[in-house]
Amino acid sequence: MHSHWNDYPTIQNKLQVVCSFLEKQLTVRNKDIQDALVEFSQAGGKYLRPAFFFLFAELGDPKKQNEEELIKVASSIELLHMATLIHDDIIDDSPLRRGTLTVQAHYGKDIAVYTGDLLFTLFFEVLIDVMNGSPFMATNAQAMKGLLLGELDQMNLRYNVNQTIDDYLLSVNGKTAELFWLACLEGAHFGKTSPQIEALAGEIGRNIGIAFQAYDDILDYTANEAILQKPVLEDLTQGVYTIPLLLAKTKNPAAFAPLLEKRANLTEAEAKEVAALVVHYQGVEQAKAFARSYTEKALAGIQELPAGAAREQLERLTKQLLKRNH
């Protein structure tokens, strides 16, 4: 398990069980896919969504909880996450993810399409195993749809210089925040908290998701490749204009126009020019303030939760998102 969780002893062990459970699920008769799946699952994913799931579950009554159920629901969330990552990497033509070759770069697009599909199937298999008949089946389908629509929004907005912060938010709400919403909501639900805590958990998850994505987008402009473990400015060169650029551009659209007009023909040197303009027009600082406002909303929500070790850890983890560099 990722060293990240050494400071979170109550969930570290549970994440390890999720990891083992996932490995068992990822058994198929096709060797290439099997290799791709296992390699991908072991490539250092942080299991951030299952972690939030377990922290919210800890707010509930342990006597009412079913440990196996919790492990399976947490695993289903990670399976959905993995499936969408693999298909996203096809769309983005990404060579690297988590410091290793992406499935599509290593095995080709064909295998990546089916590997992602297979993960969607495993996601539903686990759901059916653990919650068939529950209204949370529909909640999961809704989350999966929300994720995809967010990705599609982002694809539709490519190279669109007229997109607004609201466009960005709609896409991020789907592609990233939806899964944090689901993880926190399901943690509270299957951890047997209360309807009030469930509602709060979903809201906290959504705010964490938006903050998380905004920091991710900031890193594209501030981190170096070695730390990020993937190419920097990748979004920009793909025509995905994220919050630092969108905020900087409002200060002087004309400065950006000649570069962004080049669309897919933007060179690496020109991408660096855009990045310099983003920094010059306080895009990074403004984006940090934007992200911080969502982190603060999340922290305010967390303060409304029952006091205790789980709340303390949730607060600490959420604050850590402000400091992360990869």
On whether the CB atoms of residues 221 and 284 are closer than 8 A, the answer is yes
Q: Which of 28, 96, 259, 271 binds its own copies (CB under 8 A)?
A: 28
**Pick 149 or 255: Cβ nearer its own copies:** 149
Q: Are 179 and 142 in contact (CB under 8 A)?
A: no
Q: Would you say 164 and 182 are in contact if contact means Cβ atoms under 8 Å apart?
A: no
Contact flag: residue 128 with its own copies (CB under 8 A):
yes
Residues of this chain, 40-69, that bind its own copies according to CB under 8 A: none
Q: Is 191 helix (H, G, I), strand (E, B) or coil?
A: coil
Q: 3-state class of 305 per DSSP?
A: coil
**CB-based contacts of 209: which residues, under 8 Å, 6+ apart?**
172, 173, 176, 177, 178, 179, 180, 181
Does position 24 bind its own copies by CB under 8 A?
A: no
Q: Which amino acid type is present at position 180?
A: F
Sign of CA pseudo-dihedral 21, 37, 126, 209 = positive
Helical (H) or strand (E) element with 100:
strand 100-101
Q: Which is nearer to its own copies, 189 or 249 (CB)?
A: 189
Query: CA nearest 323: which of 223, 180, 183?
Result: 223
Closer to its own copies by Cβ: residue 109 or 326: 109
Q: Does 141 bind its own copies (CB under 8 A)?
A: yes
Cβ 31 to its own copies shortest distance, Å: 7
Query: Given candidates 35, 100, 114, 296, which one binds its own copies under the rule CB under 8 A?
Result: 114
Tell me: does residue 144 bind its own copies (CB under 8 A): yes
d(CA 213, CA 317): 15
Please report whether residue 138 would count as binding its own copies according to CB under 8 A.
yes
Tell me the window of 147-155, 209-217, 258-266, 283-291 that interacts with its own copies (CB under 8 A). 147-155
Residue 105 C-beta: closest distance to its own copies, Å: 15
From the CB of 260, what's the least distance to its own copies, in Å? 20
Contact flag: residue 249 with its own copies (CB under 8 A): no
Structure tokens at 144: 């999966």
Stretch that binds its own copies, among 17-25, 106-114, 199-207, 284-292 (CB under 8 A): 106-114
Q: Which residues pair with 100 in a beta bridge?
A: 97
We find the least distance from the C-beta atom of residue 179 to its own copies, in angstroms, to be 14
CA distance readout (Å), 285 to 188, 230, 240, 291: 34, 22, 19, 10
- Name the nearest CA neighbour of 189 among 126, 130, 125, 122: 130
- Determine, following the binding rule CB under 8 A, whether residue 159 of this chain makes contact with its own copies: no
- Position among 17, 38, 137, 322 found at the interface with its own copies (CB under 8 A): 137
Binding site for its own copies (CB under 8 A): 28-33, 87, 90-91, 109-111, 113-114, 116-118, 120-122, 124-125, 128-129, 132-134, 137-138, 141, 144-145, 148-149, 151-153, 155-156
